[in-house]
Amino acid sequence: MARACAAQTNATFLKLAGPQLVQMFIGDGAKLVRDAFQLAKEKSPCIIFIDEIDAIGTKRFDSEVSGDREVQRTMLELLNQLDGFSSDDRIKVIAATNRADILDPALMRSGRLDRKIEFPHPSEEARARILQIHSRKMNVHPDVNFEELARSTDDFNGAQLKAVCVEAGMLALRRDATEVMHEDFNEGIIQVQAKKKASLNYYA
C-alpha cells in the first residue's frame, strides 16, 4: 500500500525494516533512522515506510539489557525525527504492524503516527485464492483442496498464507517429490501456526 501511495503521488519511496534496525551494532539503528529522514528531506516529496514497527516501537520500560536499551535508543530517535519536520518538508511516514496493541502510545500522538487504518484478515474465500496465487508456480497435485486449507487458516494474514505455501514447497523438495501434496500444505499450516504461537509468547 505504501509503495502504491508513493507511485500515485510521484514520491520517492524509502523502506525501513524494524527487525533490521534492532539487529545492528550499538548506535547504528538510531543513525540509520536519522540518515533515512535526512535522505527523505533531500529527495522530497518522499514516503518513508517502516515495516514491522513493533520491533522498535514497543512500550518503553526500564531495562539493563543492552539489546533492549538499543531498541529504546532507536525508538527515541524515531520520535525525535517525527517531531523534527513540518508539512513543508513534504515527507509522510507510514508504518505497518501486526501488533498494534504493544506499540508505545508516544508513537501515536498527534503529529506523529496519529492515523490508524486496519486491514482485517482475509475471508475464507480470499484465503483460498491467496494460497492458490502463491502456489501457482509449484507443481501442485490435483487433489489439493484449497477451500479446505482455507478453513484451517482462519486467523492467518496474507504473509502467513504465503509462508504456508513456501513451507509446503520445501517439504516436497526435501522428500524429492515431483508434486506438492495436500499433506504438505497441512504440515505447512502447522509449522506457521507454531511460529505464530512462538511470536505471541515472545510478546506476552
pLDDT tens figures, 120-137: 889 999 999 999 999 999
Q: Please give the pLDDT value at position 35.
A: 93
Q: Report the C-alpha gap between 196 and 130 in whole angstroms.
A: 19
pLDDT beneath 70, residues of the chain: 23-26, 59-67, 87-88, 198-204
Same domain, 143 and 93: no
Q: Please give the pLDDT value at position 71.
A: 83
Same domain, 160 and 190: yes
For residues 74 and 33, the answer to whether their CB atoms sit within 8 Å is: yes
Q: Please give the pLDDT value at position 100.
A: 84
- Indicate whether 115 belongs to any domain: no
pTM score above 0.85: no
Q: Please give the pLDDT value at position 203.
A: 46
Same domain, 41 and 101: yes
Same domain, 10 and 69: yes
Q: Please give the pLDDT value at position 186.
A: 98
Q: Please give the pLDDT value at position 42.
A: 93
List the beta bridge partners of residue 140: 180
For residues 93 and 1, the answer to whether their CB atoms sit within 8 Å is: no
Instruction: Please identify, among 108, 143, 174, the residue that sits at the C-terminal boundary of a domain.
Output: 108
Give me 150's grid cell: 482455507
Q: Note down the domain range covering 199.
A: 124-203
Q: Report the C-alpha gap between 45 and 114 in whole angstroms.
A: 20
